[in-house]
Amino acid sequence: MLFFYKSHTLIFSYTGHFKKIYNAVKCAIPTPILKKGVQWKKYLKNKKAIGETDNSKKRAVSFASFAGSLTVEAALVLPIFLSAMLLLLGLFHAMSVCSQVNHYLCMTGRKIAAYSQSEKGVDQGTLYQLFYSEIGGSGIDSDDIAGGYAGLIPRAESSEQGHLMKLSIRFGIRMPGYLLPSRTIWTVETVYIRPWTGESAEMYSGAGEYGQSRQVYVAENGSVYHRDLSCTYLALSIHACSMSSVQHLRNQYGARYVQCERCGHVSDKNQTVFITDMGTAWHTDRHCSGLKRTMDGMSQKEAEQSGLRPCSRCGVSGGGDA
């Protein structure tokens, strides 16, 4: 306490000496210089009152705002960049799953081609057994497929070309959500295979010793033979329309549709009738023999020996109707 008291007394005594020195210096300075100093202080006070700030403060404020803008831009761009990267990862994941499913579907198609010409043909049970035996040992994670492996259901059907078989499978891919909820994308994988019939390529060339032994098709009560099962004489495109509108329709060749000799009996103008793109008659019975084709297979040599002519659409030059 004694030291504290003495220290304060020293400060007070020093303050009195400083005042005396300050007054002596003030008296020694000329009066015009003192007046200019007072006027400069007043000018600075008025300048601050108007709203102007010091340049040093301006620089500090502008530098601070620039640093903040970088922080805001980074906060906006970073989530967009991360979302784009996650989206690309999800697409690559989906492409990988589709590629693997397509590969094992092709492997199944190679095996199923050997069964396509058997007496019983290809049933769904055989198709499932072959496909699941292929995909069972694969690297596909069942969690990536909607419903697991049970969600992969292959189907077999004849293609529009007739001589090809179509294998297709529709399934859902579970996209990884990462930070978002997971979603399912549905896709279809399709494979076309040619059945193993054991026929030589020369049988379809029309030349050589097999040229007369190639397979042709003859419709029931037909007068021509066909080389292609997808011929428009055999594969009919049937459309339904009303009786009142069929009178204004034309076939592909511009001809009118006339009444069928077998089933063309109309009781109502709004009755539904059936026509084909290349036919010339309208039918009231969907199962009319004019809308069906019962075919027999034989060699081209046998067809020519029976007096049948080649089809004008799928055979060589010549005319005829099925």
Average pLDDT for runs of 10 along the chain of length 322: 41 54 57 56 57 49 51 80 84 87 87 64 74 78 81 76 77 76 83 71 47 74 82 81 86 87 75 86 84 81 86 61 41
Number of helices and strands in the chain (H, E): 6, 11
| Whole-structure pTM value | 0.41
Task: Provide the pLDDT for residue 254.
Answer: 85
The single residue listed with the structure tokens 């990862």 is 89
Q: pLDDT at position 117, please?
A: 54
Antiparallel, parallel or unpaired: β 309-310 and 224-225: parallel
List the chain domain ranges: 76-193, 201-310
Angle at 183 between CA 178 and CA 186, to 5 degrees: 135
Distance CA 95, CA 102 (A): 10
Residue 14 is predicted with a pLDDT of: 47
A 10 A CB-CB count for 78 gives 10
Structure tokens at 14: 């020093």
Would you call 252 helix, strand, or coil by DSSP?
coil
With contact defined as beta carbons under 8 Å apart, do 183 and 211 qualify? no
Q: How many CB atoms lie within 10 A of CB 187?
A: 13
- What pLDDT score does 60 carry? 46
Say what the pLDDT of residue 319 is. Answer: 39
- Report pLDDT for 44: 60
Q: 318, 86, 98: which is closest to 181 by C-alpha?
A: 86
pLDDT at 147: 81
Cα separation of 97 and 174, whole Å? 10
Cβ–Cβ under 8 Å, residues 161 and 138: no
CA distance 93 to 176: 8
> For the residues of 141-170, what is the DSSP string, one character each?
-GGGBTTGGGG-EEEEEE-TTSSSEEEEEE
pLDDT at residue 317, as a whole number: 42
Vertex 249: Cα angle to 286 and 311 (nearest 5): 65
pLDDT of residue 202: 47
Report how far residue 114's alpha carbon sits from residue 159's, in angstroms, rounded to the nearest whole number. 17
Q: What is the pLDDT of residue 151?
A: 82
Identify the pLDDT of residue 122: 63
| Closest residue by Cα to residue 268 from 249, 307, 248, 242 | 242
Q: What is the pLDDT of residue 207?
A: 46
